A and B are shown apart, each in its own frame.
Chain A
Amino acid sequence: MILNPFGTADWMAIAPIVALAIASLLVLLADLVARPAISRYGAVAIGLLGTAAAAVLAAMQYGHVYAAFFGGFVTGGFTTVFEEIVAIALAGSLALYATLGDPKRIGGTVALMLWGSCGAMLMAGAANLMTIFLGLELLSLALYCLCGMVDRRGARESALKYLILSSTASGFLLFGMALLFGASGSVLLADLARPQLAANPLFWMGSGLFLIGLAFKMSLVPFHAWAPDVYEGAPLPVTAYMSVATKAATLAVFARVLYAALPAGTASHVMLPVWIVAGISMIAGNVGMLAQHDLKRLLAYSGIAQVGYILTAMAGGSALGLRYAIYYLVAYTFMNLGAFAVATAISGEHEEGARLVSYAGLARRRPWLAAAMTFFMLALAGMPPTAGFLGKILILATSADSGYAWLGGLLVAGTAISLYAYAKVVRAMYLPQSGDHHVADLRPIAPLAWISVTLCLIGVIAMTFYPLTPSNVLPLLR
């Protein structure tokens, strides 16, 4: 006789994930019964309702620390913050899909997006190796399919590249997990923090392989080559989602490992390669941006560098560093989603507004859109009146405090390089172009893309004036 070991608290902990899963099943059912004409907005509406429900349910768990499912999923401030980031990314991408989506496939697409977010939220709260891996696979599998789900050259290539390279990274991750399990005899992250593990070679090999897997998913520099190609081929909403949600979810796992799952005193040794790689990413990502003529590729390289900035904040392993990292991540979420929303707003019927050529003269045709794009670019570059600037200052301060001033120096150098690349977008919009490029006719701006641009703008501005640094994100485990 086996009794039910779980109570209400366990189910409440994963309520946001359950809400998303139910919403996606409803989307599928609605897609089966609805006429094609209504299913596009219907599917997105159900998706957005599910996202809102998930966001509310996640917010209800704020500050309520509880290890559900025998430590499989931990709630508390940290989990809530990352769940909300995923929810924001999901809502933004769904809104973009309402503008761009292929009506024939919208049901399955929205459902896949919701499931992927289930995986990302699972990673946000995952405190054992199995939950981490399953969450990551759920997210990645959904993204492989989403990348290829458009009839355009390059989409299938993008999906295939992502599938093959990302599966290899998952292999590394899984092998690392196996060795870590072999070393500790437990799948719980908390058990990895036991001091006797520091002398175990299996622990060192395992954590090395594990970190390689994570570095790939975060697209840090030696493992970054997939990102520009995959971003370029994927549909715009998927690119927007990938650039935010995948990074946030992986950073959540990384932060939990760094802050709560390493034997005392080993963090600076285990993580040293990660900091070096983050430093290289900040330089290489920004240099890579210079040569790009496609907004998606440009933002892919930008994302490589931005993850480096966020990791710089965590480098010391201090609680303050984590708060600043989260602050910068939230600001980055709004900036990046905003830039992709602008790209969606200027997309034509057959061509996405991703090539820099299609921004030529945007300031004359759509002055407000151009102004918003300029603001997002300035924020991504970290110029003074924006949240990006504030975030970088905070990161610099904490990296100097914790003895990683060299990472701070690389951050400053990378920022200087990146200014030119971001300015290229702005220049295209404002300066009159010499050649007469073919510019796709603008469609009337879809309301949802407009709303997303506005909301992201509000988000970035609000972050500037009210530096939202959740103070009780620690403790992460227990």
Chain B
Amino acid sequence: MIAFWIVGAIVVASAVWTVTARKPVYSVVGLLINFAALAALYLSLSAEFLAVIQIIVYSGAILILFLFVIALLSSGVAPFAQGPNRLPRIVVPAVAIVAVALVGLVAGINGAAILTPSVSPSGSPLGPVGSAGVFGSVADFGKALFTTHLLPFEVTALILMVAVIGVVMLAGDQTPYVGSSKQAARVERQAREAILRGGDR
């Protein structure tokens, strides 16, 4: 329980840092801490597999994407002087309302005991993580994924394929082939000017 509060505080603090940091790279570091702390929270909910995926995919792969985007777009750009964005006034009451609603919802859930699956849908008991046959374990997850939920699993293969082909079709053809460094410099200058003009291409 103490661990939950510590990790929860880290999650919130790193999220705040992510949105308020002046330099985009700091935001990425904040996000990294956030992802890692979320993985710890997943573990405390005995969602082992989710925690592993969180580490491998999110803090491993997605953050690399963020870093590349920052390297692509914002190198040479000075850090924001004013912060990324002055918040509009409406945000504060809106956040307050959402926060009250969430607290109310959570209190309502706890009070009315709506969430009562003490036994998981697959029939295995909730218990300490780590061993097979326990709700949330990777073994249990694998069994469900390859039997009950086989169709969604195979559909993800198609979704990944769409992403692969889409990336290659959209970005692959755009890279101009450059033979010499002089030509490369010209291409880059043209691209720079195009960006400065704010044109479509």
A contacting B, Cβ–Cβ less than 8 Å? yes
- Which of B121, B161, B166 is packed against the most chain A CB atoms within 10 Å? B166
Q: Is A105 a contact of B155 with CB atoms below 8 Å?
A: no
Q: How many A-B residue pairs have CB under 8 A?
A: 90
Complex CA gap A156/B200 in Å reads 9
**Chain B residues whose CB sits within 8 angstroms of the CB of A2 once the complex forms:** 143, 146-147
**Given B109, B150, B158, B161, which contacts A69 in the complex, CB threshold below 8 Å?**
B150
Q: Is A108 a contact of B162 with CB atoms below 8 Å?
A: no
**Given B105, B121, B162, which contacts A186 in the complex, CB threshold below 8 Å?**
B121
Complex CA gap A381/B102 in Å reads 46
**Given A5, A112, A185, which contacts B117 in the complex, CB threshold below 8 Å?**
A185
Knowing A141-B159, A148-B170 are in contact, say whether A130-B152 is a contact too (CB < 8 A): yes
**Chain A residues whose CB sits within 8 angstroms of the CB of B87 once the complex forms:** none
**Given B117, B151, B166, which contacts A131 in the complex, CB threshold below 8 Å?**
B151
Knowing A141-B166, A202-B109, A205-B105 are in contact, say whether A21-B151 is a contact too (CB < 8 A): no
Interface of chain B residues 113 through 170 with chain A (CB within 8 A): 114-115, 117, 121, 143, 146-152, 155-156, 158-159, 161-163, 165-166, 168-170
**Given B115, B148, B162, B170, which contacts A115 in the complex, CB threshold below 8 Å?**
B162
Q: Is A14 a contact of B151 with CB atoms below 8 Å?
A: yes
**Given A73, A108, A137, which contacts B151 in the complex, CB threshold below 8 Å?**
A73
**Chain B residues whose CB sits within 8 angstroms of the CB of A115 once the complex forms:** 158, 161-162
**Chain B residues whose CB sits within 8 angstroms of the CB of A142 once the complex forms:** 162, 166
How many chain A residues touch B (Cβ–Cβ < 8 Å)?
46
Q: Is B159 a contact of A109 with CB atoms below 8 Å?
A: no
Knowing A2-B143, A104-B173, A202-B114 are in contact, say whether A111-B149 is a contact too (CB < 8 A): no
Q: Is B151 a contact of A135 with CB atoms below 8 Å?
A: no
**Chain B residues whose CB sits within 8 angstroms of the CB of A6 once the complex forms:** 150
Knowing A185-B117, A200-B114, A205-B105 are in contact, say whether A138-B147 is a contact too (CB < 8 A): no
A72 interface hit (Cβ, 8 Å): yes
Render A1-36 as a binary contact track against B, CB cut-off 8 A, 1 for contact. Answer: 010011000000010000001000000100000000
Chain B nearest Cβ from A340, distance in angstroms: 22
**Chain B residues whose CB sits within 8 angstroms of the CB of A201 once the complex forms:** 105, 108, 114
Chain B nearest Cβ from A23, distance in angstroms: 12
Complex CA gap A6/B147 in Å reads 8
Chain B nearest Cβ from A36, distance in angstroms: 14
Q: Is A108 a contact of B168 with CB atoms below 8 Å?
A: yes
Complex CA gap A107/B153 in Å reads 25
Q: Is A141 a contact of B162 with CB atoms below 8 Å?
A: yes
Complex CA gap A247/B109 in Å reads 35
Complex CA gap A140/B200 in Å reads 24
A145 interface hit (Cβ, 8 Å): yes
Complex CA gap A161/B163 in Å reads 17
Knowing A105-B173, A134-B156, A200-B114 are in contact, say whether A28-B165 is a contact too (CB < 8 A): yes
Closest residue of chain A to B149 (Cβ to Cβ) is: A130
Chain A residues within 8 Å of B, Cβ to Cβ: 2, 5-6, 14, 21, 28, 68-70, 72-73, 104-105, 108-109, 111-112, 115-116, 118-119, 122, 130-131, 134-135, 137-138, 141-142, 144-145, 148-149, 153, 156-157, 159, 182-183, 185-186, 200-202, 205
The 10 closest A-B pairs by CB, nearest first: A145-B166, A69-B151, A108-B169, A134-B155, A72-B151, A185-B117, A141-B162, A130-B152, A108-B165, A142-B162
Q: List 24 A-B contacts (CB under 8 A).
A: A2-B146, A14-B151, A28-B165, A105-B169, A105-B173, A108-B168, A108-B169, A112-B162, A115-B162, A119-B155, A130-B152, A131-B152, A134-B152, A137-B159, A141-B163, A145-B162, A145-B165, A156-B200, A157-B200, A182-B115, A185-B117, A201-B105, A201-B108, A202-B109
Chain B residues within 8 Å of A, Cβ to Cβ: 105, 108-109, 114-115, 117, 121, 143, 146-152, 155-156, 158-159, 161-163, 165-166, 168-170, 173, 200
Known: A21-B158, A134-B155, A137-B159. 7 other contacts (CB 8 A): A69-B151, A104-B173, A118-B155, A131-B152, A157-B200, A201-B105, A201-B108
